[in-house]
Structure 1
Amino acid sequence: MVVIQLFLLTLISGVHPQTFKEIHRQAGDIAALYCEVKHGDAKILWKRDDNQSVILYNNMSSDEQRQIGVVVHKQSLVILSASVNHQGNYTCSVGNSSRWSRFRLTVHTHFREHDNITCYTSALCQLHCPTTNVPATSFSNRSITWPKGPEYGNFPSVEKEHSGIYTCTWYFPYHGQTYNVTFEVRLDVQEFDTPRTADILKPRETTFEVELGSPKVIDCEALTWSCTNSVLYWLSNFDFVDEDRPSRVSFNQTCPSDKNSKEIKRTAPLVFTKVLEEDLSKNFTCVLQHDGQTLSYVTITLTQKARPSHTSLAVCTVVLTVLSAVMVFICVKFKVDISLFLRDTLGCHSSTSDGKSYDAFLMCYESDTDGGFNAHDRKMLESVLEERFGYSLCLYDRDVLPGRAVAQVVLDCIEQSRAVVLVPTSPDPGPGSGLLSAIHEALVERQTRLVFINTETPKVSRSGSIPKALQLLSESGNHVAWKGMSSMPPSSSFWKQLRYHLPAPQRAPKIQLLLQTIQDVSSK
């Protein structure tokens, strides 16, 4: 009888009975019920049926809706915080349509909807938070968090140990309050089984340079999984190249049968006993045919090697010759400046201690011209070498103690010095030129570095005007010309030549040490 009445009611009202769409939520979570709408501007009516009354939400104001925790938003009915008071049956209709959509909301104390996702090892894995019955983006500026797992639910390279249950929470700020709903994502990470595919490994180039009339071998190598189910061969244009035949162009196919290997490299080198000009206009294709997959192939062409340009070679030779000559000229012309720069700036000199006490011994000899050093010049020479350039000098009138034989004292001073500088003086204030004869053999025997300062060019010196011992020393030593006033500035050629022939000083100049001391005091 009840069934007959329901059927008659359906015929009269035009309402089609439908099953309920089941919606489950945990208490406190936000939920959205969506009405199926074909036209976005159609009017939607929402109502709730309970045992006592029917609630029409469209007849309520926005404030009245929020007071009971319900908001009608476009085609959805949003329940802000689900509770047992919201549990029940809901119905929506579009305009004057007789078709209704029915929902049944069940609120649980503990409930989590979940999605299952499968990812594969060493690959990108993106976890997506479910959107089942959540408000649309137009309802609120929603956001999402993943309390456990990677930020934004993104694994750049997932592994087996990442399998597990992850939770995500949607947040919806609305009228000063934030509502949320939490879901679970169950991740299953499985081993990735790469499908095996046979492919050509070589050649990778598409063009090969050849010399006409010369032999050439071009390797073709392929990775296969079976020797019996694959074949590797060459084509010349569209014709097959001879295999294992004594022809000018042929190939020889090999395939090692190793049962313990999962990968097999099949080879088929293309052999030219002599490359002809006609080969340059052909395409040669290495083809891999394997059961169960499409053909793989690589096409190559031959090109003649460019002949070396004799003009370019000649130009390069001339340029290199000119550059070499310029470099030699610069090194010879500025060898003194280059050597001093390397020594002073870059510290390119021997720092090994040789046990010597002095850098140089200044020994005077009587000049046969009027251009010799006077007392003022000698003091200036000693001061510049010691104070400006940092040389440790042995001076006869300062460092030689009286009471011993002059020759022996001078020999001891020479023994303790790295070099000997002979200074022309007028008059001679030292032990005298006669002593040179006594110490000449000692200087030669010790191979002491000797620097000879003269007041005229050695070529124009009159051999008969100077003692024989001094003449012998002059021939064996390095000469530096003293030109009077023009040689006095420390930047003159005289000082550069003198320092070039002397060894590098073993200590820093006093001026440099003084500047360093001033800087240290200022920094404190």
Structure 2
Amino acid sequence: MIPLLLVLLTGICPATANEIYANAGDLVMLNCRESKHNGTVMPWKMETDQKMQLYSNMSASEQQQLGLVFYQHSLVILRASANHQGNYSCGPPGNTSSQIWFRLKVCPKQSTECTTRNTYSMVCHAKQACKLNCPEGSIPNVGIPRMKSMEHMWHKENGEPSDNYFPSVGLEKSGVYICKRSFLYSGEIYQTSSSVKLVVQAVEPPAKLGIYLPKNGQIFEVELGTKKEIVCKALVNSCQNSPYWTSEREFVDDLDVHTDPCNGSEKMPKWMSTTLIFREVSPVNLSKTFTCGFLSDKHIFTVNITLVKTAQPLHAMLAVCSVCVVVLMAAIVVVYVKFKIDVTLFLRDKVGFKVCQSSTSDGRSYDAFLMCYKSVTDGGLSEEDRKCLASTLEDEFGYSICLYDRDVLPGQAIAEAVLDCIEQSRAVVLVPSFPDPEPGSAVLSAIHTSLVERKTRLIFINTEQTEASRSGSFPEALQLLSKAGNSVTWKGRPPSTSFWKQLRYHLPAPQQTPKMQLLSQKC
């Protein structure tokens, strides 16, 4: 209803009017070339605050007074102002089908509305020549008499002067450029301006035929027993020249490749892909080289790829190593606990003598002092057993043994002699005997304090009978000494290998190399 009312009141249809935006002070031209009026005089109607009938044959003074220039079918407004804002129509009056309508909007200089409306976009490509053209807008080249077009001036949006031609435009040249056109008429210069928004786009060079994926020599990490797909992507110029896969100069089985479908009517060149499919990666695949090929009209393109087993992640390797270390240490502990005697003797016999035999001596003459005490039962070692014990330690294991009845001078006090033997020995071996031999059990109480103070290594040899009755029938001195020493059980002659190992384990290493490596059965 409202548009119809505007048509009735103004004679102009807002829906079809040509909208023209101009900055105050700019030159504006309204062109009525498309009108079907064939008369020599073009009637114009201007509707602003006051309706005004205009004709192209107005006198020059009248035109100058109104700031207008009529030429043929054009109306030129030399300096647009708010007074010129309104609706314009041209053409024969009364024939609306032959009329052309204009709606002129004049913006103040500080307004950006007209600048935005009069901005034109232009696209150039980077690193190519680019020329900015000043938009004609509402200023066509109509050849108005006495009006001369002057050189166009260009500047950037910030006012900085600029050229309108770039031999090799860069991306940084994107922005808004303003073209200012000047016209000389009747001795005065009139101007109009319009804006060009330049967009510089980066352009990729045209792709060439060939294989783009994968890269030649590329290595793919895979996990054995898993599925793996490798895509060969090529730019082809024919559906018949699709990429293919080979291995050791033979085509890969069709069941192990998949090629994208291609329609011969499609635009060329086009991208095509052929996928190499490993349904279950095997060790054999790791030893082969696979080749993707593509045959064009003039060239053969190939790339080679190989498969390698995926390296274990660092944290997984650390976890595995940690578990291995823990298992190894646990195994070492178990083995040592179970075989600590054998391990200690092995290291002592095979390594200790070779490395340490030249070390500084502790100044003691004997490795061990064999001291007898009276057994509380009949299960003590006999004289033959004691001789066997002493001779085996000396002759076969290289120990220097101190024997009371052999190495103590006659006439010396028993307690004093025993203390001397203890002081000269690195260990004391208490041997249960029956009957009571020299020096006897009477001196045990006297030497207890000396053994504790000197921290002399003490080894008890028990028999099965003495071991069973030791708790209640042992003298107090023996009970105290037994708590401070280590025990080895004698099970009769010939002594077992286990007995000798345990005894040697508790004894210090002999100061001289053993004379025999194999244990004899002479006792």
The higher radius of gyration belongs to 2
TM-score of Structure 1 vs Structure 2, range by shorter chain: 0.3 to 0.5
- With normalisation by structure 1, the TM-score equals 0.37
